[in-house]
Amino acid sequence: MSELTGKLDELRGRFDAALTAASDDRALEEARIAYLGRSGEVTLLRRSIGQLPAGERPGAGKIINDVVEAMEAALEEARTRLQLRAFDEDLAQRIDVTFPSVAPMRGSIHPIRRVLEDICTFFERHGFAVVVGPEIEPDYYNFDALNIPPEHPAREGFDSFYITDTLLLRPHTSPMQVRTMQQHRPPVAIIAPGRCYRRDAVDARHSFMFHQCEGLLVGEQVHFGHLKGMLTGMCRALFGPDQSVRFRPSYFPFTEPSAEVDTTCPTCHNIGGPCRMCGGSGWIELGGAGMVHPNVLHEMNYDPDVYSGWAFGFGLERMAIVRYDIDDIRRFFENDPDFLAQFA
Ligand SMILES: [Zn+2]
């Protein structure tokens, strides 16, 4: 019996070596025929069992069967290995791994978003909180609480989209000023950015939907000088270090005194002349501002004799137009990749 085992071991060693050396299917098949085929070495060995004593035959048969099973498994494994190698070589021939890759498409931050983020960053650095809220609001938050009672002519100036008799798409982000003052005692320092809606016909300078950013500071001894300082700082952060601001007297129901705010034209730097951006005036109008009206403070249960505050509201499209020298507000909403890619 040990003679048989020794012979099988030796034979198995040669078979494995043949498999390892085989470089294609044909070589594998030759090895199979030489050992496991009809006249193969293992087959001949199996036939020789007949010459053994009758008692040893079943044991010898089992040993040979086990070896044959192991050899067939090794053969299958070698076949798989050759197939994988052939696949890799084929792939390497068809794919040039040294070819330059295609650069992935990269998006860019929308100019409105970029202006918004820069404004938020500036005010957050000065301790202001950013608050956002609903775009559909009751008219109390849009008008009544802001010293604009129902019969007030200023309501018509807002040209709003009403959803019901008392609910409307907000025409400014002022409702967030009201909501914040209802929930917090002074001091309050917030900016409220977001989408607003008015029934404006769409043209190069107007859109029925636009973005606004409002600011509000209420506390003790807050005065107009603080407003001027903050807005000057904001304009310098957005448009450059030499910006100035100019206040022109105006009227809003919710502030007293009220002002229109201008900043130095970043295109002609206040030199004027034939400037397309500012029309030669050297100034760009940004929006409205003023000291919070005592009636508004009163409505929020803030004592106007103790607290004072300022507020402003600027259109973000207007600021982006000035900052990036854009000719038409509609470009912001057309989703034209060629336009947006310029801000990447
Ligand atoms: Zn100009």
Beta-bridge partner residues of 294: none
Query: Under a CB-based contact definition with an 8 Å cutoff, are residues 218 and 181 in contact?
Result: yes
Query: Under a CB-based contact definition with an 8 Å cutoff, are residues 262 and 286 in contact?
Result: yes
For residues 213-241, give the mean pLDDT. 94
Buried b (16+ CB within 10 A) or exposed e, 228-262: bebbebbbbbbbeeebebbbeeeebbbbeebbbbb
Determine the distance separating the centroid of ligand 1 and the alpha carbon of 263, expressed in angstroms.
10
Determine the distance separating the centroid of ligand 1 and the alpha carbon of 234, expressed in angstroms.
19
Check residue 290 and give its pLDDT: 95
For residues 199-204, give the mean pLDDT. 84
Strands 129-130 and 136-138: unpaired
Query: Under a CB-based contact definition with an 8 Å cutoff, are residues 204 and 330 in contact?
Result: yes
**Token digits for 189?**
């320092």
pLDDT of 129 over the 80 cut: yes
Determine the distance separating the centroid of ligand 1 and the alpha carbon of 331, expressed in angstroms.
21
pLDDT digits (tens, 9 = 90+) for 168-185: 899 988 999 999 999 999
Determine the distance separating the centroid of ligand 1 and the alpha carbon of 114, expressed in angstroms.
22
pLDDT of 118 over the 90 cut: yes
Determine the distance separating the centroid of ligand 1 and the alpha carbon of 133, expressed in angstroms.
35
Determine the distance separating the centroid of ligand 1 and the alpha carbon of 327, expressed in angstroms.
14
Angle of helix 25-36 versus helix 57-94 axis, rounded to 10 = 170
* 303 band by pLDDT with thresholds 50, 70 and 90: very high
- Which pTM was predicted? 0.68
Determine the distance separating the centroid of ligand 1 and the alpha carbon of 102, expressed in angstroms.
42
Q: Return the amino acid letter for 135.
A: E
For residues 269-289, give the mean pLDDT. 85
For residues 6-35, give the mean pLDDT. 89
Check residue 1 and give its pLDDT: 65
Q: Return the amino acid letter for 219.
A: G
Determine the distance separating the centroid of ligand 1 and the alpha carbon of 226, expressed in angstroms.
27
Q: What stretches of 198-318 adopt beta strand conformation (E)? A: 209-220, 245-252, 255-264, 283-292, 307-315
Determine the distance separating the centroid of ligand 1 and the alpha carbon of 334, expressed in angstroms.
26
Degrees (nearest 5) of the Cα angle 150, 153, 157? Answer: 105
**Token digits for 108?**
């860019």
pLDDT of 45 over the 80 cut: yes
Determine the distance separating the centroid of ligand 1 and the alpha carbon of 296, expressed in angstroms.
36
| Residue 217, φ and ψ in degrees, nearest 5 | -130, 120
Determine the distance separating the centroid of ligand 1 and the alpha carbon of 92, expressed in angstroms.
61
